[in-house]
Every structure is written in structure tokens, then in C-alpha cells.
Amino acid sequence: MEELLAFLNNEGQAVIIVVLFLVLVAILRSTVRAVKEYERLVIFFIGRFSTVRGPGLTFVIPIFEQAFKVDLREHFLDIPKQTAITKDNASIGVDFLVYYRVTDPELSTTKVEDPVNATKNIATTTLRAVIGDIVLDDVLSKREQINDVLRVKLDETTERWGMKITTVEIREIDPPHAIQESMNRQMSAERDRRAEVTLAEGEKQAAIARAEGQKQAAILEAEGEKQSQILEAEGQRQAQVLRAQGYAKALEAIYEQAKDVDTKTMALQYMEMLEKVGSSPSTKFILPMELTSMVQNFVNNMSMGGVAMPPPSNGNGNGNGNGTHERQSLEKVNE
């Protein structure tokens, strides 16, 4: 019996030691806290707010102090689809996201019991209030403005809870089926109108381009014709200059050859010319203006050759007097 009591005493001491060790570990664990960078500990001393501690290693007095951990990172709330009525009495479904973060750990702990559910509920009621002041067309086309209005109103409400609403994003707007059909018809009509406008604008641009091309072609054609006429006139001018120069050189050559011709050669030329004129079958009366000097020269030339010629008669002939001359040939010989 004594041995049993001694064994129980030894075992009881061991159990007591183990229990005391576990209690000590629990006290140390609740006393020493490692607070992360994005966390804060809100400390209450005998039920009253005391301080906010962290980050780093923090000590909490057991029994007297109570610590509540607050996360300072940004979180989001997925608000499920909410039914709202617009200003023009259209019922729509809207779901959206709310991004928030805690800026004051004390207020988020002491001023509201559940800040997450409180923010979700105030977000739904604020959404209905904002949508009720806007017509359906603006709800569908002005999402950014609605997001800004929701963010400002939610931020004003949650500020007293030590929370900051950073972003509100409407994810989907679901109008009624009848309104969707009407919107589809409107969009189809708008697309048809835009297609007609685009086609008309394209035709207009094409007509302008064609007219501009015709204008440029006419200008280029007129310019080419002008240049052609200029070149043609220039060619004619140069040809006339060349012909005049050739004629002048021919005259110079004739003059060079004729300046040494004597009176006998000239008289023979006169006679050959008269012979050619007289060989024509038509009736001609040729009366040189210097007939007397020509005959005198001819007589002198014949006399120098040893042929005696009677003196020229001064009487009137068929080719002289008051008769009408059908043709006169005037030639002058410059000795």
C-alpha cells in the first residue's frame, strides 16, 4: 500500500509538471506576439482601448490585456447581382466589386461590429439610390461616372469606420429582355445608318478624287500642248533662220560668181531668157524697161564681134505705144 501511494505521488508530480509546462507555454504564446508588416494589434486593457501595436515583436499582458488583429491590406467585396429601378422606371440587374482597406484599426474595431458585412450592405443600398437618380440610357453609357459616384458615397459612409473605399467597378448591367430587344434594333439601325454614311462618304471622296484626277490630267494635257506649240514654234523659227542663212549664203555665192561676169555674158543670159519666154505657147508681150540700153549693148557687142547691125528704129511697134501690156518682166543687172 505504501508503495502504491509512493508511485502515485511520483506520477502526480510528473503530471503536475507537464500541466504547469503547458500552461507556461500558453501564457508565453499569448504574451509574446509576432506582428507582420501588414497587421496591427488593437489592445484593450481591462475592457478599455489602450493602444495599437505592431509591426514586429509585441508583448501582451495576460488576463489584463486583450488583443485584436487587424489586416491593413486592400480587400475586395464581390457584391452579387442587385435589382435596381432607374429614374425612368426600368428594372435592371447590377453586380459590382468594391475595393477597400482599413486606415484606422481603432475605429474599425470600436465603431462597427463587422466592417465587411457592414460595407457590403451599405454598398447595395447606395447602389439602388444612385441608380434611381439616373435614366436607363445614362446607366448603360456612363459607367465610369456611376463608379465614381458610388465610390464617393461609400467612402463618406465608411470613413467613420476607419475604412477607405479605393475603387468601385460595375461588372455587369442586365436590362430586361424587352429593353435588350429594343436596344438591339436601335443598334442595328445605327449600324445601317453608319454604313450608309460611310458609303456616301466613300462615294464623295471617290468623286472628288476622280474630279481632281481629271483636273490634273487636263492641266497636264494643256501644259503638254503648250510645250508642244512652243517647241514647234521654236523649230519653225530655227528652220526659218536656217533657210534665211542658206539663202543668204546662196546669194553670197551667186554674187561671188557673178561679180566677175562681163557684159557679153550678161547679154547672152538676156537672150536665153527671152528665148525661153518666147517658147511658151501663150501670147506674150515682153517689154523690158531698159530696152534701149539693152539693144545698144547688144549692138555694141555685135559690132565688136565684126557683125554690122542696122540702127534701131524709133518708130512705134506692136509692143510699144499706147497698147495694153499683159505682162511685164523687170530685171536689173548690176554690173
Lookup result for grid cell 536656217: 242
Domain co-membership, 53 together with 97: no
Does residue 97 lie within any of the structural domains? yes
Q: Which residues of 308-333 are buried (b: 16+ CB within 10 A; e: fewer)?
A: eeeeeeeeeeeeeeeeeeeeeeeeee
Question: Which residues, in sequence order, are CB contacts of 318 under 8 Å at separation 6+?
Answer: 285
**Model pTM score:** 0.53
- Amino acid 152: pLDDT: 94
Three-state DSSP class for residue 325: coil
Q: Please give the tally of structural domains in the chain.
A: 4
Q: Do 134 and 153 reside in the same domain of the chain?
A: yes
Q: Of 151, 175, 199, which residue constitutes the final position of a domain?
A: 175
Residue 91 in domain = yes
pLDDT per residue rounded down to tens, the chain (335 residues): 555 556 556 666 777 787 787 888 777 777 888 899 999 999 999 989 999 998 988 888 888 889 999 999 999 999 999 999 999 888 899 999 999 999 999 999 999 988 889 999 999 999 999 999 999 888 988 999 999 999 999 999 999 999 999 999 999 998 888 888 887 888 889 888 999 999 999 999 999 998 998 998 889 889 888 888 998 898 888 888 888 888 888 878 777 766 666 666 666 666 777 677 667 666 655 555 555 666 666 667 666 654 444 444 443 444 443 333 333 333 333 33
Q: What are phi and psi of 77, to 5 degrees?
A: -115, 125
CA-to-CA distance for 186 and 137, rounded, in angstroms? 12
Question: What residue numbers bound the domain in which 273 lies?
Answer: 261-278+286-303+330-335
Residue 185 lies in a domain: no
Examine residue 320 and state whether it is found in any structural domain, yes or no.
Answer: no
d(CA 274, CA 113) in angstroms, rounded, equals 148
> In angstroms, rounded to a whole number, what is the distance separating the alpha carbons of residues 266 and 268?
5
Amino acid 254: pLDDT: 74
Cell 528704129, residue located: 313
- Indicate whether 38 and 102 sit together in one domain: no
pLDDT of 6? 60
Q: Is the dihedral of CA 281, 285, 290, 292 positive or negative?
A: positive
Q: Is 150 exposed, middle or buried (0-12, 13-18, 19+ CB in 10 A)?
A: buried
Residue 324 belongs to a domain: no
CA dist 115 and 160 (Å) reads 11
Residues 48, 85 within the same domain: no
Sort 257 into a burial class: Cβ within 10 Å, 0-12 / 13-18 / 19+: exposed
Residues 26 and 85 in one domain: no
- Determine, yes or no, domain membership for 311: no
Cell of 334: 548690176
Separation of first and last alpha carbons in the chain: 191
